[in-house]
């Protein structure tokens, strides 16, 4: 096949002033405690599969992330991606996070814990403890601390009690039994704030003698095998305190260093399995304490400023600390002779001491949170877990620079016995000191979606914020070749764009979804509980004046039979005549006719297929090869094998398109889910919707009925769009979080054969890109007439069935009809590397050559990486691409200056 060159005119926009939110908390699920009788001892000899990561942000949002590896222990270049976003109230913030098991017995039987078995708690600096409903995506209940603002929260190791450190100097114990949330007791009050809490090692419970029958009945009840004896608190009066849980009294007080009479704040505290206490304070000191005698063992000036967080390595022989000075410091436990560590025979201890082994600057501003997988559980030495050393632990850190950084954190001693695998695939080395870290790119919208929306005909760009939105107008491109085109390269002059609308809205939560119609006459915006519709009127000065449609809220409320009218996703059809609304609480899809000047908006149809368990439609379950067997849940992995594709190729085996959604819902059990992606075909006939359970439904908007259901996929859906093709307008293209691609023919209800060679043979350098795919764009000119051969037209459209996939740091051109080509799908000739790089650079007119340069090896999957970080990529006109960047330098410039301590004589 002869390769043709396609030149695109690119609007490189940097005027969108989106500001991501700082990372304030990180949390991994705990590991279930082993059985005292040794029933689960075998499970502790294997590396636990990578489990979800929960990220708390300063704007109140909480992101639930999943591991993207093909298996729970396999490498994943994309690491964790956001599966779902819990939208916080406006205004609010997240200061602390905690995950517990709803049923520890069930957790011990699961390799990867299900979201339904996890309970998520957060505090935001106020006096309210918040429990979240993970499946519904909203707040489940709140509980007042009865002690003022909550400074710290910490669950015990059996997931039965949650400890709150309060402003009034007391520790409140909250009972989590029986899926409830209630006050249990209050421990002794002290005259300082409780800034940090850590539980001591659990001890096996001594059971009384009982008959064999009763003993056999109690074998299955492991919740009562462990009991808690003490906990330690970090206070604001230059001290740590050890408290007895049985009496509630303070057992002892450990004093930290002071300077000039000021109080030292103990921001972080942890406990090891042998009872050693670790603390980090506002003087930058990291101290190790003996819990029996409550005396200091060792002290390190590990940081130049406050230590805000610490975490302990999986085997308890490494401690990681960080804080205001942006450094992450590693402390390791090394074995030494007894005389060097502790010459006194009165305190028998293991022969060893702690040393500061490594320090790395992974962030540009304050580090607020640290977490490591696998997490550490301080168990007695007889029950201590021992993980294999062939897989490196992963350290996650986050702070004011708004991105989560993940780093392999294997110990140097692990590399002596065997080769250590790097789960992030960033480098061959996997030790904390030598491995390459990587930064998880932040997204502008919930669930890795984009908060930027484009109106092509009106040439408008809209970006939503936490409680508002802004609209800009992009000027038409210049037609004369001889004119000076200064605004084309970055396109950030006032001649190239203008701000036409700025709105601040009255919202209950942070804004979840937004949309603007192609003709620029409608704007829809929604929080979790309310959706607002505005009609835009153009003023004489070129600005836009919004006018709210007051009857819209009551119309939507009647459909939901309640008060909540929020949406998780919004989308206008290309002809701007309909609005598609995905309900946030019920996952119902509303198709709304916007009406005209003399006709108000009305609801055409309500679809509830996403609320059905297992994707059941008329008693038929969507087929898919499940990795976990026939009893797997709907949110588990599905392999897209050829056998299942053949089954789906028969239209008769798919769901009946004439089915009535209302009767279907009554006949099936409901599930809680959230619709995260929607797409409409260019002709407005087909609508595709995808939810966080990895299910995709297709609807016919002409007939206003459900058309078919796709199988669930192995990874969350990140990109969803219909190809712009006059011959096949129903070609649905899907991009998954692990950079896998799928192509589906909606009209034929099958995966087309012409796309299978590419889908099943994606180049490794594309699938192993560190940033996952976030979107896909098609040139609207592909459906029209093609330019004659040999004509050198400005802004020539892309060939048919050619897509631009994009992530946070890359844009890739893919011809869906071609094979990947070459050994890796990318250019492999080192001699022509410089020439290929020149072809991908912007030319003098600000246009980027994205076509092939004639190289034999480079036939498909052409990649450019000089736009970063990307918020949005799409075509505004045939051959005219809009690329919206938000450089990290511009974002960091608005933050307070980072901590810097000059050194005398340093250059």
- pLDDT value of residue 541: 83
pLDDT at 409 over 90: yes
**Rounded mean pLDDT of 387-398?**
92
Contact criterion met (CB below 8 Å) for 718 and 725: no
- Label residue 349 by pLDDT band (50, 70, 90): low
Provide φ and ψ at 557, rounded to 5°: -60, -35
Please report where in the chains the tokens 């010459």 appear, as a residue: 343
- pLDDT value of residue 351: 73
Strands across the sheet containing 522-526: 513-516, 522-526, 531-538, 544-548
Candidate from 33-47, 327-341, 527-541 with smallest mean pLDDT: 33-47
Strands across the sheet containing 731-736: 717-722, 731-736, 741-745
Per-residue pLDDT tens digits for 466-525: 999 999 999 887 643 433 333 333 334 455 889 999 999 999 999 999 999 999 999 999
Sequence-distant (6+) residues with CB within 8 A of 516 are 453, 454, 455, 460, 462, 471, 522, 523, 524, 572
For the chain, what is the mean pLDDT? Answer: 83
- pLDDT value of residue 485: 37
- pLDDT value of residue 865: 92
Distance, CA of 85 to CA of 443 (rounded, Å): 11
Distance, CA of 409 to CA of 45 (rounded, Å): 19
Distance, CA of 492 to CA of 487 (rounded, Å): 6
**Rounded mean pLDDT of 193-198?**
96
Helices (H), ranges, 200-295: 212-218
Distance, CA of 569 to CA of 589 (rounded, Å): 9
pLDDT at 629 over 70: no
Distance, CA of 28 to CA of 572 (rounded, Å): 38
**Rounded mean pLDDT of 198-202?**
94
- pLDDT value of residue 560: 85
Q: What percent of the chain has pLDDT over 70?
A: 80
**Rounded mean pLDDT of 722-742?**
89
- Label residue 320 by pLDDT band (50, 70, 90): very high
- Label residue 671 by pLDDT band (50, 70, 90): confident
Per-residue pLDDT tens digits for 442-459: 889 999 999 999 999 999
- For residue 848 the two structure tokens come to 């980027």
- pLDDT value of residue 298: 95
Q: Which secondary structure element, helix H or strand E, spans residue 13, and what is its range?
A: strand 7-13
Distance, CA of 60 to CA of 24 (rounded, Å): 10
Beta bridge partners of 319: 312, 331
pLDDT at 741 over 90: yes
**Rounded mean pLDDT of 126-155?**
95
- pLDDT value of residue 48: 85
Per-residue pLDDT tens digits for 427-445: 999 999 999 999 999 889 9
- pLDDT value of residue 673: 92
Q: What is the DSSP letter of 846?
A: S
- pLDDT value of residue 855: 40
Per-residue pLDDT tens digits for 226-264: 899 999 999 999 999 999 999 999 999 999 998 877 899
- Label residue 783 by pLDDT band (50, 70, 90): low
Comparing 38 with 594, the larger pLDDT belongs to 594
- Label residue 73 by pLDDT band (50, 70, 90): confident
Question: Of how many residues is the chain composed?
Answer: 907
Distance, CA of 874 to CA of 452 (rounded, Å): 10
- pLDDT value of residue 384: 84
**Rounded mean pLDDT of 781-797?**
51
Comparing 858 with 644, the larger pLDDT belongs to 858
Query: Cis omega (within 30 of 0) on the bond before 374?
Result: yes
Contact criterion met (CB below 8 Å) for 770 and 78: yes
pLDDT at 188 over 80: yes
- HSE of 526, CA atoms in CB hemisphere, 13 A: 29
Distance, CA of 802 to CA of 631 (rounded, Å): 39
- pLDDT value of residue 796: 63
- pLDDT value of residue 824: 43
Contact criterion met (CB below 8 Å) for 531 and 581: yes
Residue from 9, 779, 813, 51 nearest 396 by CA = 51
Contact criterion met (CB below 8 Å) for 356 and 300: yes
- pLDDT value of residue 840: 46
Candidate from 338-352, 637-651, 718-732 with smallest mean pLDDT: 637-651
Residue from 107, 187, 178, 113 nearest 154 by CA = 187
Phi/psi region, residue 432 (left: phi>0; alpha: psi -120 to 50; beta: rest), is alpha
Is residue 106 helix, strand or coil?
helix
pLDDT at 265 over 60: yes
Strands 23-27 and 7-13: unpaired
Gap between the terminal Cα atoms of the chain: 58
Distance, CA of 54 to CA of 97 (rounded, Å): 8
Sign of CA dihedral 102, 106, 109, 113: negative
pLDDT at 593 over 50: yes
Exposed, middle or buried by CB within 10 Å (0-12, 13-18, 19+), for 893?
exposed
Comparing 351 with 800, the larger pLDDT belongs to 800
Per-residue pLDDT tens digits for 747-757: 999 999 999 99
- pLDDT value of residue 649: 39
- For residue 132 the two structure tokens come to 């979240």
pLDDT at 300 over 60: yes
Candidate from 44-53, 414-423, 558-567, 641-650 with smallest mean pLDDT: 641-650
- pLDDT value of residue 111: 76
pLDDT at 214 over 80: no
CA distances from residue 375 to 51, 70, 853 in whole angstroms, order as listed:
10, 22, 49
**Rounded mean pLDDT of 780-807?**
66
Contact criterion met (CB below 8 Å) for 737 and 718: yes
pLDDT at 717 over 70: yes
Comparing 409 with 486, the larger pLDDT belongs to 409
Distance, CA of 230 to CA of 57 (rounded, Å): 31
- pLDDT value of residue 164: 97
CA distances from residue 376 to 273, 314, 372 in whole angstroms, order as listed:
9, 5, 8
- Label residue 5 by pLDDT band (50, 70, 90): low
**DSSP of 497-523:** EEEEEEEE---SB---EEEE-TTS-EE
């Amino acid at each position: 096949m002869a390769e043709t060159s396609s030149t695109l005119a690119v609007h490189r926009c940097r005027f969108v002033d989106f500001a991501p939110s700082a990372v304030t908390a990180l949390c991994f699920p705990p590991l279930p405690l082993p059985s005292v009788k040794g029933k689960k001892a075998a499970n502790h000899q294997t590396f636990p599969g990578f489990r979800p990561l929960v990220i708390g942000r300063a704007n109140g949002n909480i992101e639930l992330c999943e591991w993207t590896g093909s298996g729970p222990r396999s490498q994943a270049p994309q690491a964790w991606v956001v599966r779902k976003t819990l939208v916080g109230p406006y205004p609010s913030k997240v200061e602390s996070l905690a995950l517990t098991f709803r049923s520890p017995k069930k957790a011990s039987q699961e390799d990867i814990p299900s979201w339904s078995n996890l309970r998520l708690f957060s505090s935001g600096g106020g006096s309210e403890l918040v429990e979240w409903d993970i499946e519904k995506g909203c707040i489940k209940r709140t509980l007042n601390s009865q002690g003022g603002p909550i400074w710290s929260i910490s669950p015990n190791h059996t997931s039965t009690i949650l400890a709150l450190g309060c402003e009034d100097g007391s520790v409140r114990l909250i009972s989590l039994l029986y899926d409830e949330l209630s006050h249990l007791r209050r421990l002794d009050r002290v005259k300082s704030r409780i800034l940090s809490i850590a539980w001591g090692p659990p001890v096996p419970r001594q059971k009384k003698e009982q008959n064999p029958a009763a003993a056999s009945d109690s074998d299955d009840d492991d919740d009562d095998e462990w009991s808690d004896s003490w906990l330690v608190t970090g206070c604001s009066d230059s001290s740590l305190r050890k408290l007895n849980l049985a009496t509630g009294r303070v057992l002892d007080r450990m004093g930290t260093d002071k300077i000039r009479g000021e109080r030292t704040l103990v921001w972080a505290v942890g406990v090891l399995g042998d009872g050693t206490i670790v603390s980090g304070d506002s003087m930058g000191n990291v101290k190790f304490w003996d819990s029996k005698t409550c005396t200091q063992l060792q002290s390190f000036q590990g940081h130049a400023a406050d230590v805000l967080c610490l975490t302990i390595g999986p085997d308890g022989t490494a401690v990681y600390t960080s804080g205001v000075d942006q450094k992450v410091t590693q402390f390791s436990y090394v074995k030494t002779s007894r005389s060097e560590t502790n010459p006194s025979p009165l305190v028998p201890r293991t022969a060893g001491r702690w040393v500061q082994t490594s320090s790395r600057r992974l962030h540009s501003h304050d580090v607020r949170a640290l977490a490591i997988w696998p997490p550490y559980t301080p168990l007695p030495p007889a029950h201590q877990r021992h993980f294999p050393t062939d897989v490196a632990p992963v350290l996650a850190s986050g702070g004011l620079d708004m991105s989560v950084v993940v780093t392999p954190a294997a110990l140097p001693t692990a590399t002596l016995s065997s080769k250590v695998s790097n789960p992030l695939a960033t480098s061959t080395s996997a030790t904390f000191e030598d491995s390459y870290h990587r930064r998880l790119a932040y997204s502008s919208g919930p669930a890795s979606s984009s908060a930027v929306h484009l109106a092509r005909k009106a040439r408008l760009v809209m970006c939503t914020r936490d409680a508002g939105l802004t609209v800009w107008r992009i000027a038409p491109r210049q037609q004369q070749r001889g004119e000076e085109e200064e605004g084309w390269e970055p396109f950030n002059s006032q001649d190239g764009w203008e701000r036409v609308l700025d709105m601040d809205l009255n919202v209950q939560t942070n804004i979840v979804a937004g949309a603007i119609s192609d003709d620029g006459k409608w704007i829809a915006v929604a929080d979790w509980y309310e959706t607002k519709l505005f009609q835009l009127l153009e003023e004489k000065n070129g600005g836009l004046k919004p006018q709210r449609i007051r009857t819209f809220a009551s119309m939507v409320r009647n459909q939901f039979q309640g008060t909540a009218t929020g949406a998780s996703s919004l989308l206008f059809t290309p002809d701007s005549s309909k609005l598609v609304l995905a309900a946030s609480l019920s996952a119902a899809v509303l198709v709304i006719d916007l009406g005209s000047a003399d006709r108000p908006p009305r609801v055409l149809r309500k679809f509830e297929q996403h609320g059905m368990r297992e994707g059941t439609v008329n008693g038929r379950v969507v087929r898919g090869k499940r990795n976990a067997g026939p009893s797997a849940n709907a949110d588990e992995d599905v392999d897209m094998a050829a056998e299942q594709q053949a089954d789906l190729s028969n239209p008769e085996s798919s769901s009946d398109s004439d089915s009535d959604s209302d009767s279907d819902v009554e006949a099936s059990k409901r599930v809680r889910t959230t619709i995260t992606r929607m797409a409409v075909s260019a002709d407005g006939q087909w609508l595709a919707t995808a939810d966080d359970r990895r299910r995709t439904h297709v609807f016919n908007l002409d007939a206003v009925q459900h058309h078919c259901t796709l199988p669930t996929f192995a990874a969350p859906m990140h990109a969803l769009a219909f190809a712009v093709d006059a011959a096949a307008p129903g070609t649905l293209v899907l991009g998954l979080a692990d950079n896998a691609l799928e192509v589906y023919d909606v009209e034929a209800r099958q995966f087309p054969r012409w796309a299978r060679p590419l889908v099943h043979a994606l180049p490794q350098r594309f699938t192993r890109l560190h940033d996952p795919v976030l979107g896909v764009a098609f040139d609207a000119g592909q459906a029209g007439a093609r330019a004659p051969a040999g004509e050198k037209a400005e802004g020539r459209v892309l060939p048919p069935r050619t897509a631009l996939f994009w992530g946070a740091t890359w844009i890739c051109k893919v011809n869906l009809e071609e094979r990947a080509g070459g050994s890796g799908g990318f250019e492999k000739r080192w001699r022509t590397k410089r020439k290929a790089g020149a072809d991908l650079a912007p030319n003098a007119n600000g246009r980027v050559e994205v076509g092939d340069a004639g190289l034999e090896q480079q036939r498909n999957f052409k990649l450019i990486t000089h736009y970063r970080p990307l918020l949005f990529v799409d075509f505004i006109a045939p051959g005219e691409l809009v690329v919206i960047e938000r450089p990290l330098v511009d974002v960091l410039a608005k933050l307070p200056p980072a901590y810097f301590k000059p050194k005398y004589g340093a250059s």
